[in-house]
Chains A and B, each alone.
Chain A
Amino acid sequence: MRALCWAGAGLVEVRRVPDPELRNAQDMIVRVRRSTTCGADLPLLAGRVPEASAGEVLGREFLGDVVEVGPEVRRHRVADRVVVGAAVACGACWFCRQAMPACCDNGTGGVAAEPQWGQPPAGGYGRPARLGGFAGGHAEYVRVPYADVGAFAVPESVSDERAVFAAGAAPAGWYGAELGEVAPGDVVAVWGAGAVGQLTADAAVARGADRVVVVDDRDDRLRMVTGHDGVEALNHRYVDVLAELRERSGGRGPDVCVDASGVTAAGPGRWPAVEPDGGAALREAVHACRKGGVVVVLDARPGFVDRFPLGAFADKGLAVRAARRRGGAAIPALLERMARDELVTEHLATHRMPLERGAEGYALFRDRADGCVRVVFTP
C-alpha cells in the first residue's frame, strides 16, 4: 500500500510499504478515508525524536471503514465507518477504568523503550515503534489494536471531514475544559488558536463560560475564532495580554487558563530539546490566572522548558493539570454533538489534499502558511 512515511529530519515522503496485518485477536484493519496532520508530529518531523526510524508511517488521527476484524472484536463489523481515538488503550487497566485512556498501562506494543520516569504512556498511531507506537493513519490501511475500545462508529449524517476531528483534536479540547472544571460564569483564556485551542474554546462555551478569550499571534487563525459565539481573540503581537485579560475578567484574572499552544516546529535541535520560547504561553497563563484557578497544559510536550514562574504558582495557589489526547470515552458524545450540528469542525480542515501531496501538506502545516490550521489527507 501507499503510506506517508518519516524519511529523516525534515523529510516525509509517500512510499510503498507492506499492508498492515492482524497481530492480536482484538485488532482490526481499517481502510482509511481521511487522516489529518497533528502538531505532535512536528518534533518528529524536525528530527528531534531519536527513537524514530526512517520508513515509519505517520498519522495520529484518522477515520475509515473496517475491512477485517480479529476473532475477539465484538463491537465492529466489516464495512462499519469508524473514527479511531488517537490513544491506543486497553480499556481494562486501572487507568482506563478511571477514564484516563491516555495513561493506559497496556497500550504500547512489543519491547518499548522505557520513559525516564518509568511509567509507560498509552500507545499511539504514527509514533515510533521503539516507543511502543503503531503505524499511523496517513496510509491506505491501518491496524487498530484494542478495536472495541479505541474505535467508534460514526453516525451516517456526519461527514468524514467533520468526524476526523473526533479522533484527537475535539477530545483534547473537550478534555481541556473538563480538566479546567470550566463552570457557568467562568472567564476562560486559551493560548493557541490551532484546532485544539479552537475546540477548547468551543467546549468552554458549551460548558457555560461567560467569556472565552483566545490568544495567538496569527490573525488568520484568530479571525476563525471570533466567528464563534461568545469567543474573543487577542493577538499577543499587538496587545498586552496580561492587561487585557485582567480588564476582561473584572481584575480577577481568568478562572481557567488553557495552554493549547502545542509544540514549536523549531529544530532540528539537540536532545533533550529545551525549547527556548516553548514555555512562553505557560508562563503567561500562570501569571494571568486568578488566584486559586486552574492552568491546563494540553498535548504532548517533549523536552523541557525553563523559567517556570514557581513563585506566582505557589503564591496564587494554582493547580496545574495536563493531558495528552483523551480519546476513548468522550468520542461517542462528541460524534452525537456533531450529528446535531452542535459541534462543527470541518472549517479546521483549511487544506484538503490527496495523500500523494503529503510532503507539501506538512510543509504548509509546519509553517502555518496560507492560513493553514489542519491539512486533511485522502489516501
Chain B
Amino acid sequence: MARSRRLAAGALASAGARMLAPAGARVLARRRARRAGADPRPGRWQVVTVAAPPEQVLPAGRWPEPLRRLDGAVEVWARPAPGGRGTELAVRPLGGECALPGFAAHLVGDDPGRFLRQVLRQTKQLLETGEVLLADRSPLDRPGAAP
C-alpha cells in the first residue's frame, strides 16, 4: 500500500486530469492476483513517458491533444517520472474492464489497448516534437500524383 500512496502523492491534483489513487491501487491489486499465463486485460492502463515536465504535459490540468478528443471515453492519470525523465501519462477505458457503452466504444474501437497506445504515442510525439509524424502516402492515396 505504500506504493499506492506514493502514486497518489505523485499524482497531479487537478480536476481535468482524473488522477485516481484508488485506480492505481486496483491495478496493483490486480497484478498480485494475476496468474501466470493469464491474458492481459483489455482494460489495463496504457502508459507512456513524455520527456517534459507535468506542467507542460497537462497545463492547468487540461488533457493534451489528441488525448483530449477521448474525454468521456477514458480516464487519465499522470505523475512525474523518476530520474528527471519527464511525465508518466496513463490512460484506460472509463470503467476499467467493463464493456464500454455507445459513443465511448465507438471512440475506442474493438482493441482499446492498441488504440490507446497509439493515441498516447501521438500525444507524446506532439508534446516532444511539436508534430505527429505522418507516414508517406501510398500511391493509392494520391490519385492526382503522376507516377
Which residues on A are within 8 Å of B, measured CB to CB? 15-21, 23-26, 55, 72, 90-94, 97, 105-112, 114, 120, 123, 129, 132, 134-135, 143, 145-146
Contacts and interface: CB of A to CB of B under 8 A. Distances in A.
Nearest to B146: A18
Given A72-B130, A93-B51, 15 more contacts: A18-B142, A21-B142, A23-B137, A72-B131, A105-B128, A106-B125, A106-B128, A110-B133, A110-B134, A110-B135, A111-B135, A114-B114, A132-B135, A134-B135, A135-B136
Contact of A25 (B121, B131, B136): B131
Contacts of A145: 133
Nearest to B136: A135
26 contacts: A18-B139, A18-B145, A21-B145, A23-B137, A24-B131, A25-B131, A26-B129, A72-B131, A91-B129, A92-B128, A93-B51, A94-B86, A105-B128, A106-B124, A106-B125, A108-B133, A109-B134, A110-B134, A110-B135, A114-B114, A120-B121, A132-B135, A134-B135, A145-B133, A146-B129, A146-B133
A214 B130 CA distance: 45
Contacts, number: 82
Nearest to A53: B138
A341 B138 CA distance: 42
A107 B125 CA distance: 9
Contacts of B130: 25-26, 72
Please list the 8 inter-chain residue pairs (A to B) with the smallest Cβ-Cβ separation, ordered nearest first. A110-B135, A18-B145, A109-B135, A23-B134, A16-B147, A92-B128, A94-B51, A90-B129
Interface of B: 49, 51, 85-86, 114, 117-118, 121, 124-125, 128-131, 133-139, 142, 145-147
Secondary structure at the A interface, as helix, strand, loop or mixed, is loop
A107 B51 CA distance: 15
Most chain B CB atoms below 10 A, which of A18, A19, A109, A143:
A18
Given A90-B129, A93-B51, A146-B129, A19 B145 contact: yes
Contacts of A21: 137, 142, 145
Contact of A143 (B118, B131, B136, B138): B136
Contacts of A72: 130-131
A317 B121 CA distance: 37
Contacts of A110: 133-135
Given A16-B147, A18-B147, A114-B114, A24 B136 contact: no
A107 B134 CA distance: 10
